[in-house]
Amino acid sequence: MAGDERDSPIGEDKLCIEMLGAGQEVGRSCCVITFKGFTIVCDAGVHPAYTGLTALPFIDNLDWSTVDALLITHFHLDHAAALTYIMEKTNFCEGKGKVYMTHPTKAIYRFLMSDFVRISNAGTDRMLFDESEMLASWRQIEAVDYHQEVVLGGGLRFTPYHAGHVLGACMFMIEMAGLRVLYTGDYSREEDRHLVQAEVPPIRPDVLICESTYGTQSLEPRLDKEMRFTALIHSIIKRGGRVLLPVFVLGRAQELLLLLDEYWEAHPELHSVPIYYASSLARKCMSIYQTYIHTMNQHIRSRFNRRDNPFVFKHVSNLRSLDKFDDKGPCVMMASPGFMQSGISRELLERWAPDKRNGVIVSGYSVEGTMAREILSDPDEIIAMNGQRIPRRMSVDYISFSAHVDYTQNSRFIDEVKAKHVVLVHGELKNMSGLRAALKSRYSDREEDVQIYMPRNCEPLYLSFRAERTAKVIGSLASQPAKPDRPIDGLLVAKDFSYTVLAPDDLTEFTGLTMSSMLQRQHVSLHVSWELARWHLEGMYGHVDEGVDDAGVRCMRVMNVVDIKQPTTHELLLEWESSVSNDMVADSVVALLLGIDSCPATVKMTMHDHVCAHHHPAETSATHASQLESLMAVLEAHFGDVAMLDVGGQPMLSASEPSDPYDAQAETSMAMEPSSSATASTSDATDRPEAQVATTEPPGKENDERPALDRLLELIQGPVRPAIKVALDDDPAIIELETMAVHCLTETLKQRVEKLVAMIQSTSETLTDTFRLAPVCSTMLFQGKHSDVEMPAPKIEEAVPVSM
């Protein structure tokens, strides 16, 4: 269950998603994902409608030195153009984070960014970065393959998957401390003429961050829009006009070039009409496309295997600039950039706009604030880059070849991914709100619990996840099927937030680790006698084992884990096998021994000669007496008078013997009844539980006028043993001193007394009795000479009383 951080219950893990760009807008995509100390940034683009620093994401909201990885989904400027500024102009370089993108994206990014630097820095002194800074940052980028799992360590990893959209585009499946987040970037679920469609990852994510560019719009089928597109171009050429196709240099341009080249081949009457691909990077980028044909769909790969290179066009000419362009007669001009903010596409728009024979076809998504969006509103005039007003008489059409998902594709993809939390990004507010409402209605009708979010820029979204941990049992422990009531005893191995349980013997085989034990030794100066030290230890821990080791050195063992030896007269040696619990016991023993000299009890006991040796009789003595005194004091405070008495002495009854004369009379009367009733009564007496006999009066004794104490004593069987009695309103309760068992005719009073007895037992037990630690690995009483592999059994001797 996820929600806002303020409403998150304690003990849950919080995922933070903050959009530094593309939050309820299209452009400057930048998504920061933080979880359990990890920070991942996805994309770093600029806004196409702005220039300079205003086009950048809100980079001041993040300490870039804390970023573990910066992942770029594809080469488009609104997803990658701010990368150089972040790498060179922020403290990103002070951290350990790296930048990752696919091989085709890295290859195209270099040439695309060179063109971006040239265009954006033209006519201005306020450059974001220069060519040398771009190249320096480009060399630091790590290129990865599709489906390659990149492990960054400590539970952080990611895997790129095909996203369609453009060559090299990918979506990232990010795993952070066991939590999976799928970031799609721009993606397309429709296979076109050269690209594969976006794939659904085989692993189900916990959170899906996906684009919402088209909101609830549904685009027309590919074949229909291809026919409409070619027919529209053909009609403009027939009327003697020029066709302007503003596109980005890479991406949809290659798809349209394949379509036009195929259409021209099928229509000989168009062979005299030139098709221009106007871009300074056209030739370089086409060589990259030919290099990475293996990443494209089966149709392109099959043509290439037949030695038919689809990107060697027969009817398309490259045009580096307009200086050599002979602007005469009909033609088709594919020019960049797609938003017509500047460059060749903007220059041709201003040149051709007054002629009604010409036409412009916008074939991709247009961002708010760009010329491509403005011209779609059919204005009567446009504003030139020099500020002049130019009449607009050319035709304007919009046929979307944008490689973004529409509502049909997006909703189907979200269904197939099956994430419980969907975060919508990269969409204008109107489209994003419509998509969110449609998805909520969709899942509400299905009664599915899917949460939909649409965060704004710089407003963190917190999702809380229950801290559930699952351990996988492997090795010999997994050979036996697990049972609900059978505990699993093994080693818990944690690595990168994944947990494995295995037997100690399997540790080396499955993990490459080995088990070892650490023996700790601590020397403590002692200026009092051995017997006084033992007296203090017994006062703190209760029972202490004493003897000598194989070398004849006097030894004591505290709580089964710490050995105390006296190698010299004024020195003690502590030895224990290191563990969390053993170290705690050893620390307390050291603290106690260091404080013996200044302890008031030590001063008092050493003021006259006495014997400190303790001869331990039966194990009940001091501790049991102290416990009894405490018990009687508490009971007297609660109930008043406390009396000692003996219980038991009643013979153990068989099922056929009556317990007293009353039972004999009842048996005589039952014999006069029909046999069936006698059988039933006998069965009831036999099956009656013993606990019920001890707390409830037997049936048929409701009229027993004897005192309640006499009736209770008759119910306690077994040998004679000591006990104490308390009473509340003439209702007695008896506590056996040996077992602390409570007998009472009233269940309520019995439970009250049992709680008091349990409280006294818990407060009067020694540390040794309360905390039963597992003995050290050696089964010997004392560890002896630890340098020896096998140690002989120690000789246990009785301590000799010493006068101090």
602 pLDDT exceeds 80? no
CB 750 within 8 A of CB 742: yes
Pick from 162, 143, 62: nearest CA to 99 = 143
Q: What is the mean pLDDT of residues 582-594?
A: 91
Q: Do 415 and 405 meet the contact criterion of CB atoms below 8 Å apart?
A: no
Sign of the C-alpha dihedral, residues 720, 722, 728, 729? positive
Spell 162-177 as b/e; 16+ CB within 10 A means b. bbbbbbbbbbbbbbbb
Tell me the chain's radius of gyration from C-alpha atoms.
43
pLDDT, one tens digit per residue, over 462-509 is: 999 876 678 889 988 888 887 887 888 888 888 877 889 988 888 888
Retrieve residue 162's tokens. Answer: 């095909």
Residue-level pLDDT at 604: 66
How many CB atoms lie under 10 A from the CB of residue 546?
A: 21
Q: Does domain 519-602 have CATH number 3.60.70?
A: no
More confident residue, 414 or 312: 414
β partners of residue 395: 359
How far apart are the C-alpha atoms of 450 and 442, rounded to whole Å?
Answer: 10
Phi, psi of 391 (to 5 degrees): -65, 140
Q: Give the span between the Cα atoms of 154 and 389, in whole angstroms.
A: 60
Q: Which long-range contacts (CB under 8 A, 24 or more apart) does 132-140 make?
A: 133/84, 133/88, 134/84, 134/110, 135/110, 136/88, 137/83, 137/84, 137/87, 137/88, 137/99, 138/84, 138/106, 138/109, 138/110, 138/113, 140/87, 140/98, 140/99
- Residue 608 has what pLDDT? 56
- β-strands 721-728, 731-736: how paired? antiparallel
Report yes or no: 29 and 45 within 8 Å, Cβ to Cβ.
Answer: yes
Residues 6+ positions from 375 with CB-CB distance below 8 Å? 340, 349, 360, 362, 382, 392, 396
pLDDT tens sequence across 496-544: 778 899 888 888 888 888 878 889 999 998 888 888 888 888 888 888 8
Q: How many CB atoms lie within 10 A of CB 653?
A: 14
Mean pLDDT value of segment 239-259: 86
The most confident of the ranges 130-139, 275-284, 757-766 is 130-139
222-398 classified as CATH 3.30.2270.10:
no
**Helix or strand holding residue 276 (H, E):** strand 275-278
Going 242 to 248 to 249 to 255, the CA torsion angle's sign is negative
Q: Is 786 a catalytic residue?
A: no
Query: Is 50 exceeded by the pLDDT of residue 656?
Result: no
Residue 457 forms beta bridges with which residues? 19
Cα angle value 618/624/628 (rounded, 5°): 145
High-pLDDT (> 70) share of the chain, %? 82
Q: Check residue 803 and give its pLDDT.
A: 37
| Residues 450 and 463: beta-carbon distance below 8 Å | no
Structure tokens given for 660: 């007293």
DSSP 717: B
**Which one has a higher pLDDT value, 740 or 320?**
740
pLDDT at 780 over 70: no
Residue 591 has pLDDT above 80, yes or no: yes
Does residue 354 register a pLDDT over 60?
A: yes
> What is the biggest distance separating any 2 CA atoms in the chain, rounded to whole angstroms?
132
User: Quick count: other Cβ atoms within 10 Å of Cβ 545?
Assistant: 15
* pLDDT averaged over every residue in the chain: 82
Decide: 75 and 102 in contact? Cβ < 8 Å: no
In the chain, the percentage of residues whose pLDDT exceeds 90 is 43
Q: Where are the domains of the chain?
A: 13-217+405-464, 222-398, 471-511, 519-602, 720-760
> If phi over 0 gives left and psi between -120 and 50 gives alpha, with beta otherwise, what is residue 95?
beta
pLDDT at 394: 95
Query: Up-side HSE of residue 552: CA atoms within 13 Å toward CB?
Result: 1
Report whether 98 contacts 156 (CB < 8 A): no
**What does each C-alpha distance from 293 to 167, 169, 196, 308 come to in angstroms?**
9, 14, 11, 12
Query: Minimal CA–CA distance to 760: which of 804, 724, 784?
Result: 724
Is the pLDDT at 300 greater than 80? The verdict is yes
Q: What is the pLDDT of residue 652?
A: 53
What is the band of 139 on the pLDDT scale with cuts at 50, 70, 90?
A: very high
Secondary structure string (H, E, C) spanning 590-618? HHHHHCCCCCHHHHHHCCCCCECCCCCCC
Q: How many C-beta atoms surround the C-beta of residue 337 within 10 A? A: 24
Tokens of 616: 């331990």
CA dihedral 360, 364, 366, 372 (to 10 degrees): -20
Q: Name the more confident of 228 and 700.
A: 228
Cα–Cα distance between 62 and 52 in angstroms, integer? 19
The DSSP bridge partners found for residue 391 are 381
Predicted local distance difference test score (pLDDT) of residue 788: 35
Beta-carbon count within 10 A of 241 CB: 21
Q: Is the pLDDT of residue 611 over 70?
A: no
Give 195's contacts (C-beta < 8 A, 6+ positions apart).
Answer: 164, 165, 166, 167, 188, 255, 296, 297, 403
CA dist 365 and 188 (Å) reads 13
Tell me the C-alpha distance between 101 and 170, whole Å. Answer: 8
- The answer to whether residues 130 and 85 touch, using CB atoms and an 8 Å cutoff, is no
Q: CA nearest 255: which of 110, 106, 402? A: 402
pLDDT tier for residue 97 given thresholds of 50, 70 and 90? very high
DSSP, residue by residue, 645-657: EEE--BPPPPTTS
Residue 777 pLDDT > 60, yes or no?
Answer: no
Give 568-594 as a DSSP string: ETTEEEEEEE--HHHHHHHHHHHHHHH
160 in Cβ contact with 185 (< 8 Å): no
pLDDT tens digits for range 707-722: 888 888 888 888 898 9
pLDDT tens column, 225-245: 899 999 999 999 999 999 999
Residue 10 has pLDDT above 70, yes or no: no
Residues in the chain, total: 804
Query: Which among 76, 79, 404, 536 is annotated as catalytic?
Result: 404
pLDDT of 787:
37
Rounded to an integer, the average pLDDT of 137-163 is 94
The Cα–Cα gap between 474 and 514 comes to 17
The pLDDT of residue 776: 54
Distant-in-sequence, close-in-space partners of 793: CB < 8 Å, separation ≥ 6: 550, 780, 781
379 Cβ contact partners less than 8 Å away, ≥ 6 residues apart: 392
Torsion, Cα of 356, 362, 366, 372 (10° steps): -30
For residue 337, cis peptide bond before it (omega within 30 degrees of 0) = yes
pLDDT value at residue 499:
85
Q: Which two tokens stand for residue 325?
A: 């362009």
CB contact set of 33 (below 8 Å; sequence gap of 6+): 15, 16, 17, 39, 40, 41, 42, 174, 176, 181, 183, 209
- Which tokens in the block code for residue 180? 């999976």
Banded pLDDT at 779 (limits 50, 70, 90):
very low
Q: What pTM did the predictor assign?
A: 0.63
CATH fold group of domain 13-217+405-464: Metallo-beta-lactamase; Chain A (3.60.15)
pLDDT tier for residue 313 given thresholds of 50, 70 and 90: confident
DSSP element (H, E) containing 175: strand 170-176
- What single-letter amino acid sits at 699? P
